[in-house]
Amino acid sequence: MNNSLHVAIIMDGNGRWAKARGLPRTSGHHAGVRALRDTVEKAAQSNIHTLTLYAFSSDNWRRPKAEVTALMQLLCTQLPLEAARCEKQQIRLSVIGRRDRLPNPVLQEIRKAEARTRHSNKLHVRLALDYSARDALERAAIHVGQNGNGGFVHALAQAYNASAPVPDVDLLIRTGGEQRLSDFLLWECAYAELYFTPCYWPDFGKEGLAEALAVFDARQRRFGGVPA
Ligand code: FPP
């Protein structure tokens, strides 16, 4: 068994899951929330200290307005429910990413969810919203350039509104069949093990995470060194 892990997930395939069922894309996002809930529950029972979930990238603003609005509404309704579930399970919920472009009601729900779960310490779930790794890296570089020798990882955490840096990603999972990073945690994934699955996000859930962790357990990590 490995030490406690930071797992990050690119939750992809909601739209195709819905299309395959003749449903609107937004139904896929609703099903995605259920999958998220199951995955978080499984993560809390696993050897994971941090779970970072890519829910809305800075490039997702380019989607049709109706889909963006539906996603923001989904966040508004689901964040309080998720925060309540997290609180019960001793899970801390926080959001990383830019906060200056999110609608006010979403911001309010983020603040409430973070306040409600801030003392929980069983698992830290970080939801990435309006997140772009390149944007954060650029902001951190400018900050360090202007303010001298402050640690870069602290500047980076600050750039995407995390309260503090967390350890690097150990395992990066992407569902939905694509095999790319899509501007997610580029710095923190330097030595991440990558796991790609064709499974659409709404079908991932507990079993999907268990399988990914089993594959991860069988990997040999060398961090550029040689096997012991
Ligand atoms: C990618 O599928 C999924 C998203 C862009 C949204 C992910 C959001 C959730 C799972 C809901 C999060 C909400 C809360 C309240 C935590 P896609 O739409 O890109 O699917 P496609 O590639 O098949 O089109």
CB-ligand 1 contact for 75 (6 Å cutoff) = yes
Closest CA to ligand 1's atom 7: 55
Asked whether the beta carbons of 132 and 125 are under 8 A apart, the reply is: no
Integer CA distances (angstroms), 39 to 46, 155, 202, 204, in order: 10, 30, 10, 8
Task: State residue 194's pLDDT score.
Answer: 98
Nearest CA to ligand 1 atom 22: 13
Predicted confidence (pLDDT) per residue in 191-205, tens digit: 999 999 999 999 999
Q: How many other β-carbons are positioned within 10 Å of the β-carbon of residue 175?
A: 27
Of 27-36, 125-134, 138-147, give the lowest mean pLDDT range.
138-147
How far the first Cα of the chain sits from its last, in Å, is 17
pLDDT of residue 150: 66
**Model pLDDT, residue 144:** 83
In this prediction, residue 126 carries a pLDDT of 98
Confirm whether pTM is higher than 0.85: yes
- Reference 36, options 206, 211, 225, 228; nearest CA is 206
**Residue 135 CA to ligand 1 centre (angstroms):** 21
Residue 59 annotated as catalytic: no
**Is the pLDDT score of 3 beyond 90?**
no
In terms of DSSP bridges, do strands 171-174 and 193-196 run parallel, antiparallel, or are they unpaired? parallel
Q: Is the pLDDT of residue 1 over 50?
A: no
Question: Mean pLDDT over residues 196-222, rounded?
Answer: 97
Ligand 1 close to Cβ of residue 78 (< 6 A): yes
Sheet holding 91-96, edge to edge: 91-96, 123-131, 48-57, 5-10, 171-174, 193-196
**b/e map 108-129, b = 16+ CB within 10 Å:** ebbeebbebbeebeebbbbbbb
Tell me, in angstroms, the distance from the centre of ligand 1 to residue 220's CA: 31
Q: Is ligand 1 within 6 A of the CB of residue 199?
A: no
By the 10 Å C-beta count (0-12 exposed, 13-18 middle, 19+ buried), 47 is classed as middle
pLDDT at position 67, please?
94
- At 157, is the pLDDT very low, low, confident or very high (cuts 50, 70, 90)? very high
Does the CB atom of residue 110 touch ligand 1 within 6 A?
Answer: no
Q: Read off the pLDDT band of 133 (50, 70, 90).
A: very high
Give the distance (Å) from ligand 1 centre to CA of residue 201. 8
Query: Span 25-51, mean pLDDT?
Result: 97
pLDDT in tens, 103-120: 999 999 999 999 999 999
Residue 189 amino acid letter? C
Average pLDDT, rounded, for the chain: 95
